[in-house]
Every structure is written in structure tokens, then in C-alpha cells.
Amino acid sequence: MCELIMLGTGNALVTRCYNTCFALRTPGACLLVDGGGGNGILRQLELAGIALGSLSAMYLTHAHTDHILGAVWVVRAVAQRVHSGTFHVYGHDRALHVLDSICRLTLPAKVLSRIGTSILFHEVKDGDTVHVGDVELQCFDILSTKEKQFGFRATLPDGRTLTCLGDEPYNDACRPYAEGSDWLMCEAFCLYRDRDTFKPYEKHHSTALEAGRLAQSLSVKNLLLYHTEDTDLPHRKAFYTAEAAQEFTGHIVVPDDLERVEV
């Protein structure tokens, strides 16, 4: 069985849930994607029942605070875990540079000695394919205009595919990585009907309605929405699902923090 374990589902400034990050667990791998904005990642991993030692690797999408600062804590915690083993970190040049710099400025020498020995950073370039256990990841540049960001298309052991578009609106140059995917993970900053309140477009974000339209145009089977505002979490699942369903006829998932989604 393969599952997504959503460790966080919120945008950068949420206070009622954690920043968007997740684990992709397959029979042969447990891949952490981003770390959220801080030490809260350790709590989320604990609540999700994910032991640090069971993590195969971490994939970084980009170096914004709500994604990379938690990764510093993951590096620290992995370095200080009792048992040995190699932990792999994948990211583009800028994300790895930022993570490495923050680690060197803030972590003790004993932890830093593990970077390059048992914690290995691997730079990926646009179009690269890497393997994490039984998962194949095709990394691609989402062509952000504000911060270099990579998404990925994961091919699961059974051949099905899952595309993560990161946390910015889709660029049609990425169509080969997203079209026809079994799963599409896409940001939805807020509901379209609340666009005047949250102003998603000026923040380089989109809404549940546009995510639904995108999923329909890409002929994906399942759409997962994340990286949202957090003002009405009790109704988020119902409202976001209903709005995306105005445009998308496939299956829609709007997970809460710590929700597990079979993929």
C-alpha cells in the first residue's frame, strides 16, 4: 500500500494547522517532502507515528521559510538519532545552499559533522530522475517567478503516478509531468468566492476553483488540495471540495493535518 501522510496542510502564516509538508510512504520508502516552518515538524512526525529512523530521504521544493526551516530540525534530529544509516536530502542548488547555510550558522559541530558523512545532500536539476527506495522521482522546475522551486512526478511501485506542483500556480510548460497523473497535488490558497478577502493572485497563489479547472484540463484522476488559509478549518474539506467539483469531475481530497490518504 502507498499512502500520503499529510503532516501539514496550511500556507506560510497559518496558526491553526501546520505548514504544508507530507510524507510519501510506500512498501520500500518513506520520503519526507519539505519540513514546514520549524520545530513543529518533530511533533507532526511523532503524532503521525513516523520514526525518524524510518525516513529514507527528504525532498526540498524550495527555500521559503514555511518549507525549509523545519528541514533544519529534521537534519538536527536525524543527526542525533541513536541508530546509524544514511539519510539523503534532495533539492535544487539554491534550496540545498540555504539549508546548508542555516545548518552551519545554527547547529552544533557534532551535528554538522554528520552532513557529508551520514546525511548526504544531492543536487537535482530540472528533468533529473532519482530513485528513493521503490519510488522514482522526476524532478522539474515549476518556473516560479519569485523563488526557484521544483516539483516532482513520482512513479509508485505499481506504476501509478503522483505529481506534486509545489506551492505556486501551475505553468503549462510543466504539462508533460502533470498530464494524466493518477494524483495531482496542487495549492489552493483560498476559495474563489473569498478571493477579495485573501487576495491569492497578488501572492502568486490560486483558488480551489482554479485547481479544479486545472485538474480537469490535465485529465488527472485524483486532486489533492493543500497550502490553504486556516480561518475555517472545520468547513475547509466540504467547502473546498465543493468548489473544486464545480470544474473537476474526478476525485477530490482536501486533507486535514495528519490525515492519511491512500494513493
- Comparing CB distances to Zn ion, the nearer of 18 and 87 is 18
248 near 224, Cβ under 8 Å? no
Considering the complex, what minimum distance in angstroms separates the CB of residue 58 from Zn ion? 16
116: left (phi over 0), alpha (psi -120 to 50) or beta: left
- Comparing CB distances to Zn ion, the nearer of 94 and 160 is 94
Considering the complex, what minimum distance in angstroms separates the CB of residue 64 from Zn ion? 5
210 binds Zn ion (CB under 5 A): no
- Comparing CB distances to Zn ion, the nearer of 73 and 87 is 73
Residue from 19, 7, 23 nearest 167 by CA: 19
Of 57-96, binders to Zn ion (CB under 5 A) are: 66
- Comparing CB distances to Zn ion, the nearer of 65 and 118 is 65
Q: Which residues is 226 bridged to in the sheet? A: 187
Considering the complex, what minimum distance in angstroms separates the CB of residue 36 from Zn ion? 9
Considering the complex, what minimum distance in angstroms separates the CB of residue 16 from Zn ion? 16
Contacts of 188 (CB under 8 A, 6+ apart): 205, 206, 207, 208, 210, 211, 225, 226, 227, 228, 240, 244, 254
Residue nearest Zn ion, CB atom distance: 167
Of 137-176, binders to Zn ion (CB under 5 A) are: 167
Considering the complex, what minimum distance in angstroms separates the CB of residue 188 from Zn ion? 12
- Comparing CB distances to Zn ion, the nearer of 141 and 167 is 167
CA distance 42 to 188: 25
Contact residues toward Zn ion (CB under 5 A) are 66, 167
